[in-house]
A and B are shown apart, each in its own frame.
Chain A
Amino acid sequence: MTLEAALLISAAIFSVGLYGAISQQVVVMVMMGLELMINAVILAAAACWWFLAPGPTGQVLLMVVIAAMTLEMAMGFAVAVLLHRARQTDMTDMATDLSR
């Protein structure tokens, strides 16, 4: 159990999540990719805390990451519901005008 091992695992999870976030067409699947990336961040932050600076306040960062994840999920689901109601679609390709 070393810092490098934990960070390599984290990097692998992050890359898989990145692949999903780029390649998936369905909004919910894109969110799953984002979730995986945040999962990797949790692992990396926990490993850095333990192996580099296990001070009393370092874990606060993890709480922030978890909070960010819940916010992402809540807003993601809300937008997915709105998109589904307004356009009857759940594909990112059919909502590209949102990016303009």
Chain B
Amino acid sequence: MGEPLLTSLPAAAGPAVVTVAPAWAVAVVAVLGALALAAAALDGVLSARSASAGGALGAAGRPLGEASRLLRQRRRTTVQADTLLWRTGGAGLLVAAALMLAVVPLGRWTVADLAVGVVWFNAMDVMVWALVWLVGWGANSAHALVGGYRFLAHGLGYELPLMFALVAPAIAAGSLNVGAVAAAQDGLWFAAWMPVAFLVYLLGVAGFSVWGPFAPALGTDVAGGVRAELSGVDRLVLETGRYALLAAGAAFAVPMFLGGGAGPLLPDWAWTLVKTLAVLALLVWARRRLPALRPDLFMEIGWLVLLPAALVQDLLVAVVTVWRS
């Protein structure tokens, strides 16, 4: 009542990061686009190499060629499609990825220095549940809906381990602010002494990007699953959204587990980008190296292996944190 509302979202008093003007959100989108493009180019190179066809340069340009092909392709329409929900689902993936990246500090600068940035990221990755299912539902096609259900089943398996993996760095830093978590890793990266949480986190990133082991939602056995009826620009939006989510997940791993912008010689923003690209490359590479996880089988793995592992990791981190303080 009395005092004016200074900001709608209170920022934590973090010394490490500076909040830049909201107009820099454009830069967030640009970085996201560049990272997504880099991931797509790397995936193109890797698939050309595994098929041992074409030069590396041509393969790296393949995503752009594919994008221009999709832009010229005609949109498919289906009978009784729920177009509103269908399009919302596809475009929402990009929005969710951009909102994830908004809380990640690039070196010292951040667009949104939320006091609860870690929970914010988590809320955005839960959005993906709804969005992917909506893409599957909207087409009014059986195969697409099967894909949507597969994704939800995967989500039930990976989401809780992912949540508890995110809890571990927050406990160690004593803060839910992303900048504070990055600043708390002075000397020793969290990835070094919480390897389980880091691995579970990476698995979760693959999960919410419908990537690699979690791709059965897009499986060829169900005619492409969620994207069965997508063509033209809609398919382009969905694929870009997946790469963008992968990129946002990789970028968020840097302040959470890999020490943020800390590193020798280079400035901190450059280190953030280098580490992000490294994690992104790892995720893209892993796509061809890991077997697909069947949703029904992964449910038990998630709840009986990953979740207890993440909880034990949290307990250890909590004990160490209390003991050190």
Contact = CB atoms under 8 A, between A and B. Distances in A.
Direct interface between A and B, CB < 8 A: yes
Interface of A: 1-3, 51
B322 interface: no
4 contacts: A1-B5, A2-B1, A3-B1, A51-B1
A1 B1 CA distance: 9
Contacts of A51: 1
Contacts of A1: 5
Ranked nearest first, the 3 interchain pairs of A and B with the lowest CB-CB distance are A51-B1, A1-B5, A3-B1
A89 B272 CA distance: 56
A48 to B, nearest CB: 12
Contacts of A2: 1
Interface of B: 1, 5
Nearest to A1: B5
A51 to B, nearest CB: 6
A29 B1 CA distance: 38
A51 B1 CA distance: 6
A7 to B, nearest CB: 14
A2 B1 CA distance: 7
B10 to A, nearest CB: 12
Contacts of A3: 1
A1 B5 CA distance: 10
A2 B5 CA distance: 12
A78 to B, nearest CB: 16
Nearest to B1: A51
Contacts of B1: 2-3, 51
B160 to A, nearest CB: 14
A3 B2 CA distance: 12
A32 to B, nearest CB: 15
Nearest to B5: A1
Contacts of B5: 1
A51 B2 CA distance: 9
B273 to A, nearest CB: 38
A3 B1 CA distance: 9
A100 to B, nearest CB: 36
Nearest to A3: B1
A100 B126 CA distance: 40
A18 B121 CA distance: 33
A57 B1 CA distance: 19
B70 to A, nearest CB: 38
Nearest to A51: B1
A53 to B, nearest CB: 11
A51 B5 CA distance: 12
B321 to A, nearest CB: 23
Nearest to A52: B1
B262 to A, nearest CB: 34
A80 B5 CA distance: 44
B13 to A, nearest CB: 17
A63 to B, nearest CB: 13
A14 B5 CA distance: 27
A54 B217 CA distance: 46
A1 B8 CA distance: 12
